[in-house]
Amino acid sequence: MAACAALGAGPAAAFDAKHVALLTAPKRCESCDLAGADLEKADLSAARLTSADLTGARLKGANLAGAVLVGAILPKSDLTEANLEGAALQGANLDETVLLRANLARANLAGAGLARADLRFTVLREADLSDANLSEARLAQAYLVKADFTGARLAGADLTNAVARDAKFFRANLVKAQLGNAVLWGADLRKADLTGADLSDANLRAVDLIGADLTNAKLRGADMRSACICNTIMPEGRIDVSGCRMCEGERNLGR
What does the pLDDT read at residue 62? Answer: 98
Q: Among residues of the chain, what percentage have pLDDT more than 70?
A: 87
Cis amide linkage into residue 26, ω under 30° from 0? yes
Distance CA 42, CA 152 (A): 31
pLDDT band at 6 (very low <50, low <70, confident <90, very high): very low
Section 27-48 average pLDDT? 94
H helices within the chain, ranges in order?
2-5, 17-21, 244-252
What does the pLDDT read at residue 241? Answer: 95
* 51 pLDDT above the threshold of 50: yes
What does the pLDDT read at residue 16? Answer: 62
What does the pLDDT read at residue 26? Answer: 66
What does the pLDDT read at residue 245? Answer: 86
Q: What percent of the residues of the chain are helix, what percent strand, and what percent coil, each to the nearest 5?
A: 5, 20, 75
Model pTM score: 0.90
- Classify strands 232-233 and 239-240 as parallel, antiparallel or unpaired: antiparallel
Distance CA 88, CA 33 (A): 19
pLDDT in tens, 150-170: 999 999 999 999 999 999 999
pLDDT in tens, 95-154: 999 999 999 999 999 999 999 999 999 999 999 999 999 999 999 999 999 999 999 999
What does the pLDDT read at residue 149? Answer: 98
* 59 pLDDT above the threshold of 70: yes
